[in-house]
Chain A
Amino acid sequence: MPARPEYFLQDAAINQQGASSLADLPQAEALEAKAVYDLLRAGAMALDVRTPDQFAAGHVPRAINIALSGQFASWAGTVLGLDSNPILIADSYEQVKEARMRLARVGIERVRGYLHNGVAGWTQAGFQLMEVPQMSVRRPRRGTAPAARGGARRPPRTGSGRRVTSREPRGMRLMASRPRFLIFPARPRWWCTARAATAA
């Protein structure tokens, strides 16, 4: 049985106090790209709810990706915490509303707003996107770090955003229980993997 998420305790306290009705949630405010940029620079968190493939192809720098298509609320409650007060980034206003509702169900009732026109609005305002290169396990020879055999596949370019990539100076070994990171010293490169979540 998986460990109980930390936010369950906070949810219990919220329920004892009497949670507000989901129907009473205020509308999320539409934020222009410049406002989002300023908030991010001030330390705000952006939550991109698009699919991992979309996120990999181009995303607002420093945004966290938790896709609506997965166990969205459980992950958000676990890794963001109930006081994260995120800025939502989505493909449509329908997605914003769905994310807002599902976040509220686990106790994340406050959001700063959402990025108006999503990633397209970001690039149209002249801001850059970042990407996450993808690599398959089929690429490497057995016993060698895949990164040592030629690097990662870039996701397809989408929209008008420019890619932003650079290199990290050092690699290291690290293995965490969840999410799990495989990092090889052969070449400096971070590898992200994750087990399927077991929480509902």
Chain B
Amino acid sequence: MIACSFLQRAGHRNVVNLVGGFDAWQTAGLGVAEPAAVAE
């Protein structure tokens, strides 16, 4: 929620909180981009 509040403070209106955070995303087996892939 810290990140969401900073994004809203920066003016972004369409901000959604992913319940459980990044750990929940990984636990659910959903894809994760590694830094090297993002940089390509």
Contact = CB atoms under 8 A, between A and B. Distances in A.
Interface of A: 48, 52, 55-56, 59, 61-67, 75, 79, 130, 132-138, 140, 142-143, 147, 152, 165-168, 173, 175, 177, 179-182, 188-196
B1 A137 contact: no
> Chain A interface mostly helix, strand, loop or mixed?
loop
B35 A168 contact: no
Contacts, number: 125
Interface string B3-21: 1111111001111111111
21 contacts: A48-B5, A52-B1, A56-B1, A61-B8, A64-B2, A133-B16, A135-B19, A137-B27, A137-B30, A143-B31, A177-B35, A179-B6, A190-B7, A192-B1, A192-B3, A192-B4, A192-B7, A192-B17, A192-B18, A193-B25, A194-B3
**When A and B form their complex, which 5 residue pairs have the shortest distance between CB atoms, in order from nearest?**
A179-B3, A52-B1, A168-B14, A193-B22, A192-B3
